[in-house]
A and B are shown apart, each in its own frame.
Chain A
Amino acid sequence: MSTTTTDVHSHGEHGDHEHNPYHQHHFATMEQQFDTSKLGMWLFLATEILLFGGLFVGFGLMQHRYPREFIEAHEHLKQLVAGQLFPLYGALNTMVLLVSSWTMVMGVNAAQTDQKKKLVRYLVITILLACVFLVVKYVEYSHKFNDHLLPGMFYGHQSEDLIKGTHGYATFFAFYFMMTGLHGIHVLVGIGLLSWLVMRARRGDFTSSYYTPVDLVGLYWHIVDVIWIYLFPLYYLIS
């Protein structure tokens, strides 16, 4: 106990892993500090689940209200956007996000095992995959902007099969853009956080005894993946 106390007060002189420069004095141990941060992150993730959950419930209710329009809007998307390409966009983006989750967890593993170069490499690959996701998203969105398949009052698509019951289609696209858009914003935030991690990792901030930010951003990145896992079948597959 006495050795720990002296360690805490002699800043970095020993280079001992018992005392880390990132050890905040109100925590007894680094492990306690890590667990506390992680608990806080999980509480945030629970609010994320509920944030998107509300939108999922709304989508379900509106699909119950406009069952025909929702299915037709989906079918229409399939035919309109370059044949069968539309579900492929979703499938491609699902794969991209799953692989990026893997690179993220490999990055966390590299941080845990003091492999700095590997950590930076995996983080950079994760950022690149996130960019691929957003590029596919951009292509997908621009198709819809061109055809005036826009949310709510902006809906102005004119074709014979979707002209009746416009309210239902407008509602479908309102949910489509709000949910995929909010998810896209989360991906953008993730890119920002990952870039910050790359900067810090290159500086050598992270070691096996302190990698809390890598772990927490990893958790955030995985929850973004989990949300997409649910978005994908609901918007791209169900008919």
Chain B
Amino acid sequence: MSSHTESHTHHGGPKIYTANLLALLFLTVITVAAASFNFGSANVVIALAIATVKATLVGLFFMHLIWDKPVNAIIAIAGFLFLGIFLMFDFIDVGSRVNLQPRNMPNMENATPAPDTMNPLKTAPPKPLEPAPAAEEHK
């Protein structure tokens, strides 16, 4: 029994946690620095890659996954794995569509644009304090 108790208390430790915190803060600085350069579309990939490294560090050391029973890590990885499947299939779907409009919609090119019902600027005064310009729009 006492060996079980030890298995909880003797892993980790302040030194490892502090080193982990410093690594995480350093990676945050790198993320901010990397965002100021223009790598084109790679910026998103770089930012998310660094974020994943940070999340892994938090998971492994702060959340004790590296010392835990593997079942907890399996659940955590499964969460991200299914999120990845979700993300991947959604983007395959959207990316493989030539046009997001329905195929049987008539007069695709000459069609009048759909009513912008979600746009409050055209239907309601945007600022309640200034009703005058909005009233002109209605005329």
Question: Is this pair of chains taken from one and the same complex?
Answer: yes
**Chain A residues proximal to chain B, CB less than 8 Å:** 17-18, 29-31, 34-35, 38-39, 42-43, 45-47, 49-50, 53-54, 56-57, 60-61, 64-65, 87, 91, 94-95, 98-99, 101-102, 104-106, 109, 112-113, 148, 152-158, 163, 166-167, 170, 208-209, 218-219, 222-223, 225-226, 229-230, 232-234, 237-239
Which residues between 22 and 76 of chain B lie within 8 Å of chain A, taking CB atoms?
Answer: 24-25, 28, 31-32, 35, 43-44, 47-48, 50-51, 54-55, 58-59, 61-63, 68-69, 71-72, 75-76
Tell me if B18 is interfacial: C-beta within 8 Å of chain A. yes
Nearest CB on B from A66, distance (A)? 12
* Chain B residues within 8 Å of A167, by CB: 116, 118-119
* Chain A residues within 8 Å of B50, by CB: 233
Q: How many residues of B contact A (CB 8 A)?
A: 56
Interchain CA distance A157-B127 in the complex, whole Å: 8
Nearest CB on B from A151, distance (A)? 11
Q: Is the interface of B mostly helix, strand, loop or mixed?
A: helix
When the two chains form their complex, are residues A238 and B47 in contact, meaning their CB atoms are under 8 A apart?
yes
Nearest CB on A from B18, distance (A)? 7
When the two chains form their complex, are residues B55 and A98 in contact, meaning their CB atoms are under 8 A apart?
no
Tell me if B111 is interfacial: C-beta within 8 Å of chain A. no
Interchain CA distance A131-B129 in the complex, whole Å: 33
* Chain B residues within 8 Å of A30, by CB: 4
Q: Is the interface of A mostly helix, strand, loop or mixed?
A: helix
Interchain CA distance A102-B31 in the complex, whole Å: 20
Interchain CA distance A98-B28 in the complex, whole Å: 10
Interchain CA distance A170-B120 in the complex, whole Å: 10
Interchain CA distance A45-B58 in the complex, whole Å: 14
* Chain A residues within 8 Å of B86, by CB: 50, 53-54, 57
Tell me if B131 is interfacial: C-beta within 8 Å of chain A. no
Partner of B83, one of A53, A105, A209: A53
- 10 tightest Cβ-Cβ pairs between the two chains A and B: A156-B126, A233-B47, A46-B79, A237-B35, A53-B83, A49-B79, A102-B21, A31-B4, A42-B75, A112-B9
When the two chains form their complex, are residues B121 and A57 in contact, meaning their CB atoms are under 8 A apart?
no
Known A-B contacts A57-B86, A153-B120; the reply to A29 vs B47 at CB < 8 A is no
Looking across the interface, which residue of chain A has its beta carbon closest to that of B88?
Answer: A57
Known A-B contacts A34-B8, A148-B127, A233-B48; the reply to A226 vs B59 at CB < 8 A is yes
Known A-B contacts A101-B58, A238-B47; the reply to A106 vs B17 at CB < 8 A is yes
Interchain CA distance A148-B94 in the complex, whole Å: 31
When the two chains form their complex, are residues A233 and B35 in contact, meaning their CB atoms are under 8 A apart?
yes
* Chain A residues within 8 Å of B90, by CB: 57, 60-61
* Chain A residues within 8 Å of B127, by CB: 148, 156, 158
Tell me if B105 is interfacial: C-beta within 8 Å of chain A. no
Partner of A237, one of B47, B54, B68: B47
